[in-house]
Every structure is written in structure tokens, then in C-alpha cells.
Amino acid sequence: MAFSTITPVLLCGGSGTRLWPLSRKSYPKQFVPLVGEETLFQASAKRLAGQDNGLDFSAPMVLTNSDFRFIVTEQLQAIGIDPGAILIEPEGRNTAPAILAAALRVMDTDPEAVMLVAPSDHVVPDAAAFHAAIQAGLPAVEAGDLVTFGITPTRPETGYGYLELSAQPEGSAPVKLSKFVEKPDAEKASAMLDAGNYLWNAGIFLFKAKDIVAAFETFCPDLVGPVQAAVDEAKTDLGFLRLAPEAWSKAEDISIDYAVMEKAPNLSVVPFTGGWSDLGGWDAVWREAGPDANGVVTSGEATAIDCTNTLLRSDSDNLEVVGIGLDNVMAIAMNDAVLVADMSRAQDVKKAVDALKKKKASQATHFPKDHRPWGWFESLVVGNRFQVKRIMVHPGGSLSLQSHFHRSEHWIVVEGTARVTCDDEVKLVTENESIYLPLGCVHRMENPGRVPMVLIEVQTGAYVGEDDIVRYEDIYARS
């Protein structure tokens, strides 16, 4: 069988607030191993790689933001996938501008190219079944249709939008779409489940580059100019393609459904009966994790005693979560935040994030562990005039050459070896050795070894904020 080449486009700029405290703006759910050992982003990339069922996937195109660009490359490298273009969105403008930018980029090389656009935070356990659904949609794509995938509903779900089909689905054969339906209430969701011609809207699309661009030109023409300019004026930066900020800011903040799909007459839906979840809440994580006979799921250092229909999760090695006599409760604990709620209120977790933002709590958006292109650091203790951090640097990683106005630093290496620059001196500091960096010195830390390097940093001074950094050189081109 001849293989049909498909360009995967992975969207990974969302924040996933309904999975707080594990998913936050600084490190959202697509980069976290929520179900299984791989992250959702890694699983999505692997699902759309290689050859299977008559399909041949090219290198994935990824759309993300500047903060996540190195996380994307690091996680793809970890699973042996070389990305194609990684497009950096200057700011989030919803799915329509992102998908149009990807299509215009693909159009530059092949207007006939078939694109598969998918969020990077969905769970699809049976990749072969999903590939079969893609194969079923290709004839409609060849005929010029825009194809979306609808999930056969298994319950009257109120957290998803629906697709109303023009006829009852038969297997995986494409069916013309009648209309999109917004998230329903429980009564309407039950009625649609009984009707049989409604599917969950998965937000996954298959089309030719030229056809989706033509649809934008017809149904959302005001978006084409700014996005085209953002692509044309894009700048290459360390292998990333940064879309032009000024042009991008003029693009409307609008979803692909509102911009094109709800207006296009040439829309077909491929029914998909395999397992699927967008993990849009902790109740979805509970379902996907496979509850035991009592409906209990535990993860990490968690213990359930006489509990039913309960999710207990600890994402800290040093924090034990114990539930006794709980029913229909979810409890998720991290080093700096704990969520306890009735399972039926899973969709309301985003209200907690809003409340924390109003009180200016850092936990609303940021983790104690801060990921950087060279590795990560976490604050262990913060005082009035001091801070203690643990820092991990990847093999070959290097912090910028920098200085500080308000603090001095003391570094103690506890794992591996650091190459330290302090003004004109460069020296190796190995395990159980330390070095003092006085206020104002120009310094840098590198890991010249083949294993991760870990050190403890003690900062002292009048101000220990992250913005007290003057960068002179940086291999990651950060300003």
C-alpha cells in the first residue's frame, strides 16, 4: 500500500487551569506525565510519528510560546523525535491564527500537503485505531473537504462541545456536519446521547493546506493579512521561527471553530469510537487512570483507607497524602499547594486559580521548580535577605554570563562537576566543594560532564529577586 504523507501540527500553548495545582501557566499539563510515564505532549508526538496503516508522518510542526520552546525540544529529544519547524507565537491568539500560520508555512513548500492539526494534551490510548480514522478521512480530504474528528460519546458529558451529524454514523465513514453545539446542560446532553447522531468535538482536524487557507480567505479574510505578515516577517532564532510580534498582535483572538469551521459548507466528520480524553479536569484523570473496584485511584505517595470513588495524588516524594472514609473526593498535593474538592466540582477548579490570582498568590501560575533551557531550579527557603536554591544543569548546559547588583552567591556542588567562571578565573568545582561569588562579579556556571550537575546556591543581599540579573552572554539568546 502506498503511504500518504501527512504533516502533523501540534498545538501546545495552553495553560490547563482545570488541572491546577499540577498544571500551571509556567508549566502546563501537556508537559506533565499525568497518565503513564510520558508527558501528554510526548505521547501526542509519538502518536503522529513514523509509518502505520498506510500513513507516513513527516516531522511534526509545533506551535508554542517563547517560555516553552526549550521544553518542547527537550521533550522531543527525549523520545527520539526531530521536529520540523517550531513556530513561536509572540502571544496567545487562540487556535485560528495558530492554525492559519501553520498552513501558510506549509503552503510555502507544498499547497497540496495534508495537515493533521491536534492539541498536544489529549489522551488517545489506541494509536492504531486513530490512524485508521485518519485513513478513513483521507478520501474526503482529497475531495476538498475539511475533516474533523468526532468522538462517540459514552456518557452525557457537559464539559465538551458536540458535533451534530447530518445522518447516523456508520463505522468510521465520514459524515457531513449539520452544526456545532456548545457545551450542553445535563438534560440536553442526555437527549443528544440518546439521539445517536451527536459526537464530542475533539478539536482535531485533517485538511490540505490550500483548502484551509482558502477557507480562511472566504470566511475570515481579516485574519489572513496579519497572520501572513507575521509569517513573512518571522525571524529565525536558534532553530526556532519567531512570528513577527507587531503583525501578530493585529490578528483577532478567535478559535478555528468560530473563524471557519462553523461557516464552511465542506466540513465532514469522521466518527472515532476508540478511547479519547482531553483530560479537561481531575475527574477525567481519575477515569483514565483506571479506578479499582472501590473507584479509588492513588498516585505517588498516597494511601486510601475505606475510601470510594476518590482520587488521591501526591506529586512530592516527601509528602504523604492519606484519605480515610472519603467518598467522591479528589485531593492533589504538591510542595506548595493542595487541592481538596468534591469530584463533581472538577470543572470549578479554574475558579480556585482565579481566586489565587486575585490575592496575588504565586501558586496560581508558578511552580517552586522553575524550568529553564539549561535545566531547572527550585527555591528551598526564602528569607528577608537570603534565599536557598537547588539547581540542576543538564550535561552541556550553561547559565548565562551574568552579574548581580544586590546579592552575592555561594555555590556548593552536591552531584557532578561544575565549571565556574568568576571574573577572569575559570575553575572546576566537584562534589562536596564550594565557591564564593562576591557581589558584582561577572560569573557563569556550566556542566562540562555527561551526567546532570546539582548544586545548592545560597544567595545573600538586599534583594534576591530573579530580575536582578545583567546578562552579558547567553547561548540560548535570552535578552
Per domain, the residue ranges of the chain are 4-272, 282-358, 369-473
Architecture of domain 4-272: Alpha-Beta Complex (3.90)
Q: Name the most confidently modeled range: 22-31, 328-337, 464-473.
A: 328-337
Q: Is the pLDDT of residue 53 over 90?
A: no
Q: What is the dihedral of CA 52, 55, 57, 58, to 10 degrees?
A: 130
Mean pLDDT for the stretch of residues 119-125: 92
For 369-473, CATH number out of 2.60.120.650, 3.40.50.150, 2.60.120.10, 3.40.50.1820 equals: 2.60.120.10
Q: Is the pLDDT of residue 199 over 60?
A: yes
- Higher pLDDT: 277 or 226? It is 226
Q: What is the pLDDT of residue 127?
A: 92
Q: What is the pLDDT of residue 172?
A: 83
Provide, rounded to the nearest whole percent, the portion of the chain with pLDDT above 90.
80
Q: What is the pLDDT of residue 3?
A: 59
Which of 45-49, 77-81, 236-240 bottoms out in mean pLDDT, i.e. has the lowest? 236-240
- Of 156, 126, 140, give the one whose Cα is nearest residue 53: 126
Length of the chain as a residue count: 479
Q: What is the pLDDT of residue 1?
A: 39
Q: What pTM, to 2 d.p., does this model score?
A: 0.88
Q: Is the pLDDT of residue 4 over 90?
A: no
